Chains A and B, each alone.
Chain A
C-alpha cells in the first residue's frame, strides 16, 4: 500500500509533471531538427508517434549528434497520467482551484481528441479532371496488393487484398508468402522496395538494377524520398502452386506513377493459373466515401504578373446517390465542404506548371475524423480556465500591492 501511495504521490507531483514536460520539449526540439534530414513524415513517425524510444542521429548544425530519446507517444501517455492525477484528482477541492481544474480538464480533453484522431482518422485524397467523378479516396502513403480473377472479357472479379500492414515489414531484402481461400495458389512477395521503378532492360540504367529480369523488365530501387507521397513502391511476386512446386509465374509489381494525379493508373500484371486468367496489381489503398464527387469546373487565378496563387477553387457536385441531381458546392482554400462526417478540402492542383491550353486537375484532401470538432471545444474550455485563473491572480496581486502601497 505504501508503495502504491508512493507511486501515486510521484505521478501526481509537480516534479513528475515538470520532468515529462521537459522531456517533451526536448523530443519536440530534436524531432523538429531531425525533420530537416528525415522529412516531415519521417520525423513524425520516428519521434512523435513512437512508443518505445527513438535515436536522434543527425547533423542539425553541421555537427553529427547521436543519442536516444523517449518515444513521443509514451511521453504523452505519461503526461495524461500526470495531468489526471496531479491536475484533477490530487488538487485541493476549493473555489480558488476551479479555473485550474477547468484548464487541466480542457487539456486532457485535447489529448484525448488527439488520440482519437491519431487512431481513427482517415486521410486521403481525390484528384479529378473537370467532368470526372469518384466516390473513393486514396491513401497518400499506404499501398496494397490486389489479386483477382479475370472474367472472359478481362473484367476484374472480387479482389482479395494483401494490406499495407503486411507488406511494409517485408523490407528490401525480405520475402513473405501469402495465402487466401479465394486463391488456388499462394503469392510470395519479395524485395518490397519503398521506392522503385520498373525499367526495360534495353535502357542503359537497368544495369544498376540488381534483381532478376522478368518479361524484359528489371526493378530499379531508388532512394526513399523524404516526402512520403513521392515514394512509389515496387516488388517481385511469385505465384506458387498449392503443392509448393516451382513458381507458376514471376512478376514485377510497381506503383509506377510519378505524381499524384488522376492519370495515376495501376500497372496490372496478368498471369494464368490452371487455365484461368488472374490479375495482380500494387495500388494505393483506397476506401469509399459517403458520397460521389464530380468536378464541374476548376478555377485557378494568379496574382497578376507573378506565379503566386491568388485563388484556386473547385466547383463540385456531390451526390449521395448517383441517380440524384446532386448539389453544387464551391470548395476553396480555407473554405472546405463538410458532409456526412467527411471533409473535402481544396488541397492542390496539377500539373504544377501547365502549358497553354493544358487541362488542369484539382486535388482534394478527404478526411473523416470522429474528433473533428473536439479541439474547438477543448480550446473554449482551456481559454475559460486560463482567463479565469490568471485574471483572478492578477486582480489579487494588484489589490494586494495597492493595499501595501497605501499602507506604506
Chain B
C-alpha cells in the first residue's frame, strides 16, 4: 500500500520530468513557429513580387521628350472596333489587351519621358501608338525581358551595365540594332525543337524565343498600316533595307494595283527574285518588293469582313492587297476598303500635327474641334462593321433558307435548320465585352477582398468591443460586395460567350474562388464565429490574385472558342460545373483544416514568448492546454470541416460519374483512367477515406484537419498537376512553372500538417493524465488526505 509521502514524491518527480520535457517542447515549438513564419514571409514575398513585378522594371525611361496621351473619345471608339482573332470576332480592346500582356507581361505599359513625367497607358492606347504613331512606339520600353542575360547574349547592352539584373523592359529601338542576332538565336532554338520534338528549352532560350516572337509581332503591327504612310515609320533596316525605305517614300502602294498585272503570290515572288537589268526594271522590282512587304505586314489585324456572306474568314489590310493582286475583279472593292483605312491613317497624322501646333493656352473646345472628326472616323468604321454584320446575318439566313427549301434529304434539312438556329450576328456582344474589361470586375473583386481582410484585421485589435463588431459587419459587407463582383464577372463572361460558366482553366479559377467564398460565407451564417469570414476573405484574395496572374502568365484570350470535342453546353453545364463545385469544397475543407491546426498551434505563442522574458505562466503549465472557449472554437471548425467534406463528396462523386457518362455518351468509354479522371477519382476516394475513418473513430478533429489538408493537395494535383503530365484527353492548359508553385504549396501544407503532431501527442498525454487521475483518485480514497495535483492538471 502506498503512503502519502510516496505519492507526493512520485508527483514531484513527474512534475520535475514534465517541466524538463516542457522546456524542450517550448524550444521546439518556437523553432516550428519560426519556420512557419519564415514560410509565411517567403509566400508573402513571392506574392508581393508577383503583384508588383509588372512595374518593377527600374529603368522605364524613354528618349521621348514628352508624351501626349490619346484623346479619350478616340480610345473609346477604337476599343469597339471588331477584329477577327483566335477564331472569333472580338473587340480591338481585347485584342490589344492580350497582345500587350504577351509583350509586356502586364496589361498596362509604363514609361518615363525626359521631362520627368511618369506615364501609364492602357493596352488600347499602346495599340493606337503602335498603329498610328509608329516612330514614337519604337521608343517605348515595353518588351519584357525576364533575364538580362538573354539580352546580353544577342549583344544588346544591358541597362546599368549589369548583366545579372533579372527583369527589365526594352524598347524596339534598343533591340533593333541586334535584330539579326535575335533572329539567328531564335532560329537556332527552332531548329533544335524541330530536330527533337521533345526538346525542352532552357530558361534563357525560352526568354529569347519569346522576345523574338514579340519583336516580330511588333514589327507586323507596326507595319500594319505602313502601306498608307508613304514610307514613314518603317521597321529597322534589318527588316526593310534602306534602299527600299527610300523607294517607299511617297509611294502609293494601293495605286500599284492599277498598274500591276493579275498574278498569284508565287508569281509575284518570282518577279521579285528575277535579275533586273535596267533602272526601270529595278524600280519595278522594288515596287513589287514593297507591295509584298506591306501585304505581308498587314495580316494580323483582321477587321474587314469578306464581301461574300458565305465566307467566314475576315481580311487584314495585307490580305486585301493580296486579294486585289490575285483577282482583278475585286480590285475596286479592295481599293474602296483600303481607302477607309488610308483616310483614318491620314486623319490621325493630321490630328497630331494640328494638336502640336495648338498654342499652349488653347481651350478644350479647340482641341475637341480637332479630335472630334478623327474619333468620328472610328465611330463610322464601327457603325459600318455593325451594319455589315447585320447584312451578313440576313444574307446567311436567306442562303440557308434557300438550301433548306432545296434539300431533298431530311437529314440535311435538319442539319441546315440547326445551323440556321445557331446563326449569330458577328460581334453582337462586343460592347459587353469591352464593358467587362473596362469595368475590371475581377480586379475590383480582388481589391474588395483585400479591404475585407484589412477590416477584419482591424476588428481583431479590440476583440469583443462594439468597435470590433462594427468592423466585423463592415468586413462581411465588403466581402459580399467582392463576391458580387466575382459573380457578376462570371455571369457577364457566360452571357458574352453564350456558354455555361466554365469552359477553360481560367474560368475554373474565378468559379472555384466564387464557390469557396460563397460556402465560407454560408458557414459564417450558420456558425457566427468569424471563422467563415476570415476564410472567405483570404481565399477570395488568393483566388482572384491567382486569376490575374494566370491571365498574365498565359497571355492568351480567355474567351477563345471551344474545340469541337468540348462544344456541348449540356455537359459543360452539368459535369464541368459539378466537378468544380467539388474542387471548391475540397479546397475549402483544406483551408478549414489549415485554420484548425494553425489556430490550435499558434494560440499559445504569446504565452510562450512571455515565458521567455520571465513574465509568462510557469513552466509547468503545458502550452497546448486550452480553456473551454478555445476548445469550443476548434470543435466548431472540426464540425465545419466535416460538413464541407460531405459537401465535397456529393459534388465530386456526382461530377465524376457525370464525366464518365459524358465520356461514354460521346466517345464510348465510361472510364479511361485518363489523368484528369484519376484526379477526380482520388478526390472521391480521399473524401471517402476521411468519412470512413471518422465514422470508425480512427481520426478525430486533428486527423480530420490533417486529412482535409491532404484532400486540398489532391485537389490541387487534380486541378493543376495532371495538366502538366501531357497525357490523355484533358491535357489542356499547359502552364509553365505550375509544378514549382505546386511543390511549394505542398511543402507548406506538409509543414502545417506537421503542427498536428504535437497537438495529437498533447491529446494523448491528456487522455493518459485523465486515466492517471482516475487511478489516483482510487488510491486517494484508499489513503486519504491532500495530494498535490499532477503537472498539467488544471
The secondary-structure label for the interface of chain B is helix
Most B-side CB within 10 Å, residue of A24, A308, A334, A369: A334
Do the beta carbons of A306 and B643 come within 8 Å of each other? no
List of A residues within 8 angstroms of B675 by Cβ: 32, 35
Chain A residue at minimal CB-CB distance from B656: A379
CA of A241 to CA of B393 in the docked complex: distance in angstroms?
75
Do the beta carbons of B725 and A383 come within 8 Å of each other? no
CA of A36 to CA of B564 in the docked complex: distance in angstroms?
25
Do the beta carbons of A35 and B692 come within 8 Å of each other? no
Let me know if A21 is at the binding interface, CB within 8 A. Answer: yes
Contacts known (A18-B696, A35-B728, A375-B661); A345 close to B667, Cβ less than 8 A: yes
Do the beta carbons of B653 and A386 come within 8 Å of each other? yes
Let me know if A133 is at the binding interface, CB within 8 A. Answer: no
Do the beta carbons of B654 and A386 come within 8 Å of each other? yes
Report A306 CB to chain B, min CB distance, Å.
4
Let me know if A271 is at the binding interface, CB within 8 A. Answer: no
Query: A-B pairs with CB below 8 Å: how many?
Result: 172
Do the beta carbons of A387 and B673 come within 8 Å of each other? no
For B661-701 the 0/1 string (1 means CB < 8 A from A) is: 10011111111111100110110011011001101111000
Do the beta carbons of B87 and A304 come within 8 Å of each other? yes
CA of A36 to CA of B726 in the docked complex: distance in angstroms?
7
Q: Which of B568, B646, B696 contacts A334 (CB 8 A)?
A: B568
CB-contacts of A339-362 with B (<8 A): 343, 345, 347
Of A143-151, A166-174, A282-290, A390-398, the one touching chain B? A390-398
Contacts known (A15-B696, A305-B313, A376-B661); A25 close to B682, Cβ less than 8 A: yes
CA of A305 to CA of B739 in the docked complex: distance in angstroms?
32
List of A residues within 8 angstroms of B646 by Cβ: 390, 393
CA of A110 to CA of B658 in the docked complex: distance in angstroms?
12
Let me know if A56 is at the binding interface, CB within 8 A. Answer: no
Do the beta carbons of B698 and A44 come within 8 Å of each other? no
Most A-side CB within 10 Å, residue of B414, B646, B653, B726: B653
CA of A123 to CA of B668 in the docked complex: distance in angstroms?
8
Let me know if B526 is at the binding interface, CB within 8 A. Answer: yes
Let me know if A22 is at the binding interface, CB within 8 A. Answer: yes
Let me know if A311 is at the binding interface, CB within 8 A. Answer: yes
List of A residues within 8 angstroms of B87 by Cβ: 302-306, 308, 310
Report B208 CB to chain A, min CB distance, Å.
24
List of A residues within 8 angstroms of B685 by Cβ: 21, 24-25, 28
CA of A17 to CA of B653 in the docked complex: distance in angstroms?
17
Most B-side CB within 10 Å, residue of A15, A303, A372: A303
Do the beta carbons of A333 and B696 come within 8 Å of each other? no
Do the beta carbons of B664 and A375 come within 8 Å of each other? yes
Do the beta carbons of A21 and B669 come within 8 Å of each other? no
List of A residues within 8 angstroms of B624 by Cβ: none
List of B residues within 8 angstroms of A329 by Cβ: 411
CA of A15 to CA of B696 in the docked complex: distance in angstroms?
7
List of A residues within 8 angstroms of B647 by Cβ: 390
Do the beta carbons of B653 and A345 come within 8 Å of each other? no
Report A103 CB to chain B, min CB distance, Å.
9
Report B716 CB to chain A, min CB distance, Å.
13
List of B residues within 8 angstroms of A36 by Cβ: 725-727
Let me know if A178 is at the binding interface, CB within 8 A. Answer: no
Q: Which of B661, B682, B698 contacts A18 (CB 8 A)?
A: B698
CA of A24 to CA of B692 in the docked complex: distance in angstroms?
14
Do the beta carbons of A382 and B653 come within 8 Å of each other? yes
Let me know if A219 is at the binding interface, CB within 8 A. Answer: no
CA of A39 to CA of B672 in the docked complex: distance in angstroms?
12
List of B residues within 8 angstroms of A98 by Cβ: none
Report A328 CB to chain B, min CB distance, Å.
5
Let me know if A33 is at the binding interface, CB within 8 A. Answer: yes
CA of A313 to CA of B20 in the docked complex: distance in angstroms?
78
List of A residues within 8 angstroms of B100 by Cβ: none
CA of A33 to CA of B679 in the docked complex: distance in angstroms?
11
CB-contacts of A35-88 with B (<8 A): 35-36, 39-40, 43-44, 48, 61
Do the beta carbons of B654 and A310 come within 8 Å of each other? no
CA of A320 to CA of B714 in the docked complex: distance in angstroms?
49
Report B619 CB to chain A, min CB distance, Å.
37
CA of A103 to CA of B161 in the docked complex: distance in angstroms?
69
Do the beta carbons of A330 and B565 come within 8 Å of each other? no
Report B687 CB to chain A, min CB distance, Å.
9
Do the beta carbons of B664 and A372 come within 8 Å of each other? yes
Do the beta carbons of A309 and B654 come within 8 Å of each other? no
CA of A274 to CA of B657 in the docked complex: distance in angstroms?
60
Do the beta carbons of B664 and A386 come within 8 Å of each other? no
Let me know if B563 is at the binding interface, CB within 8 A. Answer: yes
CA of A38 to CA of B465 in the docked complex: distance in angstroms?
62
CA of A360 to CA of B85 in the docked complex: distance in angstroms?
27
Do the beta carbons of B689 and A25 come within 8 Å of each other? yes
CA of A18 to CA of B690 in the docked complex: distance in angstroms?
8
Report B722 CB to chain A, min CB distance, Å.
7
CA of A330 to CA of B409 in the docked complex: distance in angstroms?
12
Interface bracket on B: 35 or more
The secondary-structure label for the interface of chain A is helix
List of B residues within 8 angstroms of A376 by Cβ: 661
List of B residues within 8 angstroms of A32 by Cβ: 673, 675, 678-679, 722, 725
Let me know if A114 is at the binding interface, CB within 8 A. Answer: yes
Let me know if A312 is at the binding interface, CB within 8 A. Answer: yes
Let me know if B460 is at the binding interface, CB within 8 A. Answer: no
List of B residues within 8 angstroms of A372 by Cβ: 664
List of B residues within 8 angstroms of A401 by Cβ: 526
Let me know if A141 is at the binding interface, CB within 8 A. Answer: no
Q: Which of B314, B678, B728 contacts A304 (CB 8 A)?
A: B314
Let me know if A13 is at the binding interface, CB within 8 A. Answer: yes
Let me know if B61 is at the binding interface, CB within 8 A. Answer: no
Do the beta carbons of A334 and B411 come within 8 Å of each other? no
Do the beta carbons of B313 and A386 come within 8 Å of each other? no
Let me know if B26 is at the binding interface, CB within 8 A. Answer: no
Chain B residue at minimal CB-CB distance from A367: B668
List of B residues within 8 angstroms of A343 by Cβ: 668
Let me know if A29 is at the binding interface, CB within 8 A. Answer: yes
List of B residues within 8 angstroms of A365 by Cβ: 667-668
Do the beta carbons of A14 and B696 come within 8 Å of each other? yes
CA of A300 to CA of B771 in the docked complex: distance in angstroms?
76
Q: Which of A35, A328, A394 contacts B725 (CB 8 A)?
A: A35
Let me know if A277 is at the binding interface, CB within 8 A. Answer: no
For A322-338 the 0/1 string (1 means CB < 8 A from B) is: 00000011100110100
CA of A113 to CA of B670 in the docked complex: distance in angstroms?
10
Let me know if B88 is at the binding interface, CB within 8 A. Answer: yes
CA of A300 to CA of B791 in the docked complex: distance in angstroms?
80
Let me know if A31 is at the binding interface, CB within 8 A. Answer: yes
Let me know if B649 is at the binding interface, CB within 8 A. Answer: yes
Let me know if A139 is at the binding interface, CB within 8 A. Answer: no
Let me know if A315 is at the binding interface, CB within 8 A. Answer: yes
Do the beta carbons of B302 and A305 come within 8 Å of each other? yes
CA of A306 to CA of B415 in the docked complex: distance in angstroms?
24
List of B residues within 8 angstroms of A313 by Cβ: 415
Let me know if B86 is at the binding interface, CB within 8 A. Answer: yes
Chain B residue at minimal CB-CB distance from A344: B668
Let me know if B660 is at the binding interface, CB within 8 A. Answer: yes
Chain A interface (Cβ < 8 Å from any Cβ of B):
13-15, 17-18, 21-22, 24-25, 28-29, 31-33, 35-36, 39-40, 43-44, 48, 61, 110, 113-114, 117, 123, 302-306, 308-313, 315, 328-330, 333-334, 336, 343, 345, 347, 365-367, 369, 372, 375-376, 378-379, 382-383, 386-387, 390, 393-394, 397-398, 401
28 A-B residue pairs with Cβ-Cβ distance under 8 Å, sorted by A, are A21-B686, A21-B689, A21-B692, A25-B682, A25-B689, A32-B722, A40-B673, A40-B674, A40-B728, A44-B672, A44-B673, A61-B739, A113-B670, A303-B87, A304-B84, A306-B87, A308-B563, A310-B561, A310-B564, A313-B415, A315-B412, A333-B666, A367-B669, A379-B654, A379-B658, A386-B650, A390-B646, A390-B647
Other CB < 8 Å A-B pairs besides A25-B689, A303-B86, A382-B653, 9 of them? Answer: A15-B696, A18-B692, A29-B678, A303-B87, A303-B88, A303-B561, A310-B564, A345-B666, A382-B654
The 8 closest A-B pairs by CB, nearest first: A14-B696, A303-B87, A367-B668, A306-B87, A304-B312, A32-B678, A309-B564, A379-B657
